[in-house]
Amino acid sequence: MSEFVCFVVEGQTHYIEASKCLSMTLQTEKKGLVYTATMPKWLTMEAFSVFQQFLNNQLDIQKKYTDQTLQRLLWLGDHLQMEFFQETVIRDLILDRVTVQNCILFLNEAFKKLKACEDSPEVWYQMLNVCMNFTARNLLLIYQSNPMDLNKINQKVIEEILERALKNYRKKNNPELLQIVQKIRNCQDIVQIITQQKQTVLAKKINYQTHPSINWKLSNLSSIINKETQQFKFSDFTWKLVAKMEDKVLKIYLKLEDIDPELNLRIIALYFQLQLSQFGLEQLKLVNLVASKGNKILLCEFNDLNKFDQQKLEFTVYLNTDQVLTLCLNHLYYNLNPTYNLSKLDLDDCLILLAATPQVQQAQEKSFQLLLEFVPQLNPNDYERCINQLNLSLMNTEFLMKYAKSPLHQFIQNELDKRQPQQQRSYSVSKDSKSSSRILRQVSAGGSKNDKSGDQLVNRSQSSEKLHNEMPINKLQQLKKTPSQQKV
């Protein structure tokens, strides 16, 4: 005679042949030919009926199930330790039914599973990644419908979602994105977001196996005048590496060649880390760049070329854009407002806002008024640098004349007078104007024809673009060690 397992669900009894329950882990009481298993109180009759259909190979994958039922099916699979049942539920009933209303629910279920079990089947990573991508693409809708739902997501996971969302939305100038960042980061204003994000970036530990990178090998260093790599694409921008000899100093630049015209960006925030074959890794650096063709970033420079064996240099640049800082700086640029306390900004951030200001007097006057608030807070050692940037940015003659008579100019000049003799100063309007013109020409100059002899370029940036859309397993496994913020 056949044996049966009696399942007690919501006070009702259901008999299933014991042969169909061999793959289950059950705690039962045996009376005669019947094993009795009392199921957890959270198991509903609707979920159990779906489970019975699965055991009888009659699962209806076209039927619409409630989110609660699907969640209970995942829990039931865990309770019975039936991985195949869970995989079936995820593949056939969940992945194609992720919505704005349930994406965070299933995201958290996947995260809890991966955090608890290191050897979870691949389908759980798939569900987590699908939910993260969906949440990123629909972050504004989710925030508008129920902003408190974002608090239910683990901090590391929400940061990854935010990174993907900013990439998806970067062709749209939506101020709500900044509100979302402010809520997720629990920051009082945009300046606090910038300060916090800089600390986060500078504390990053780069995964050198997967991080976007460019490798370049140079030879005959002392004979280099102006050498460039071929163009390479990364993060909607086209770049070149440039090696240039300037005053017997070899300088390596990252040069912006082209930008997607649909991007409403005026400022790009990047971070990079250099690995030199002879000297190892350098410190990670964070830089800002005005998003205009020809602008470039100084990566490194070498005064003594004799220290290189056989006049050869090989280095790798680990490079990435920072979406949060790019968002914040562009928001400040397009929405400069006296309510923002710019005095708390770093000098680099304030100067990039000034450098990005178009040559339109109305726009420059707006930046100029905000600088009146910022400059008095400067460390005196930064005054000269600030003046140089002012002269570089405020180029039309009428505005320079106004600047020469402004409180800002007088303030800096008075401070400089205290620190160096009058004859050593060279900040007259005429000299500033010439100096600014020279600097501008250096920044925008295309240089001589490319000399590509003796250089090799390896570009991993395009293949690494997938990092923004897929979270690798080794990164997900790190999440397992991070406590979840809130149980689902």
* Cβ atoms of 101 and 133 closer than 8 Å: no
3 state SS of 442: helix
Among 119-133, 261-275, 368-382, 420-434, name the one with the lowest average pLDDT: 420-434
In a domain, 20, yes or no: yes
Please indicate, yes or no, whether residues 340 and 319 belong to a single structural domain of this protein.
Answer: no
Do 343 and 311 lie in one domain? The reply is no
Q: Looking at residues 405-415, what average pLDDT do you find?
A: 61
Which one of 332-346, 424-438, 473-487 scores highest in mean pLDDT?
332-346
Q: Indicate whether 307 and 379 sit together in one domain.
A: no
Q: How confident is the model at residue 447 (pLDDT cuts 50, 70, 90)?
A: very low
Separation of alpha carbons 153 and 106, rounded Å: 11
In a domain, 375, yes or no: yes
266: in domain: yes
Instruction: Tell me the pTM.
Output: 0.72
Does 353 lie in the same domain as 284?
Answer: no
- CATH number (domain holding residue 269): 2.60.210.10
Domain shared by 128 and 172, yes or no: yes
Q: Are residues 308 and 412 in the same domain?
A: no
**Residue-wise pLDDT tens digits, 219-275:** 888 888 999 999 998 888 899 999 999 988 899 999 999 888 778 788 999 999 988
Q: CA–CA separation, 299 vs 241, rounded Å?
A: 9
Same domain, residue pair 175 and 306: no
The answer to whether residue 254 sits within a structural domain is yes
How much is the pLDDT for 456?
A: 56
Mean pLDDT along residues 403-412: 60
Tell me the pLDDT tens digit for each residue of 79-108.
Answer: 888 899 999 999 999 999 999 999 999 999
Domain stop point among 171, 187, 203? 187
Number of H helices, E strands in the chain: 17, 15
CA Rg value for the chain: 30
Question: Does residue 41 have a pLDDT over 60?
Answer: yes
Q: Same structural domain for residues 138 and 82? A: yes
Q: What gap in Å lies between CA 12 and CA 317, rounded to an integer?
A: 65
Residue 23: what pLDDT? 74
Higher pLDDT, 308 or 284: 284
269/429: higher pLDDT: 269
Q: Which tens digits make up the pLDDT trace of 150-165?
A: 889 998 899 999 989 9
User: Residue 457's pLDDT is what?
Assistant: 59
Answer for the pair 104, 153: CB distance below 8 angstroms, yes or no: yes
What are the structure tokens assigned to 273, written together? 């880390």
Helix (H) / strand (E) element for 228: namely strand 226-228
pLDDT score at 110: 95
Query: Is residue 194 in some structural domain?
Result: no
Please count the structural domains in the chain.
Answer: 3
Predicted pLDDT of residue 219:
87
Report DSSP letters for 72-98, one per residue. HHHHHHHHHT-HHHHHHIIIIIIGGG-
454: left (phi over 0), alpha (psi -120 to 50) or beta: left
Q: How far apart are CA 365 and CA 357, in angstroms?
A: 10
Tell me what the mean pLDDT of segment 359-386 comes to.
65
Q: What is the pLDDT of residue 412?
A: 58
Question: How confident is the model at residue 175, as a pLDDT?
Answer: 77
Has residue 316 been placed in a domain? yes
pLDDT value at residue 417: 67
Task: Give mean pLDDT, residues 327-353.
Answer: 78
Which range of 380-384, 447-451, 474-478 scores highest in mean pLDDT? It is 380-384
Cβ(58)–Cβ(29) below 8 Å = no
Q: Return the pLDDT at 372.
A: 65
Looking at the structure, tell me whether residues 342 and 318 fall in a common domain: no
Q: 354 with 411, same domain?
A: yes
Q: Which domain holds residue 175?
A: 4-187
Same domain, 135 and 75: yes
Per-residue pLDDT at 465: 44
Residue 481 has pLDDT above 60, yes or no: no
Report if residue 208 sits inside a domain.
no
pLDDT at 423 over 70: no
pLDDT, one tens digit per residue, over 170-215 is: 766 677 888 899 888 888 888 899 999 999 888 888 888 888 899 9
Torsions phi, psi of 189, nearest 5?
-155, 180
Whole-angstrom distance, CA of residue 105 vs CA of residue 96? 15
The per-residue pLDDT for 25 is 77
> Above 60 in pLDDT, residue 48?
yes
Task: Please identify, among 136, 152, 187, the residue that sits at the C-terminal boundary of a domain.
Answer: 187
Indicate whether 256 and 370 sit together in one domain.
no
Report yes or no on 436 lying in a domain: no
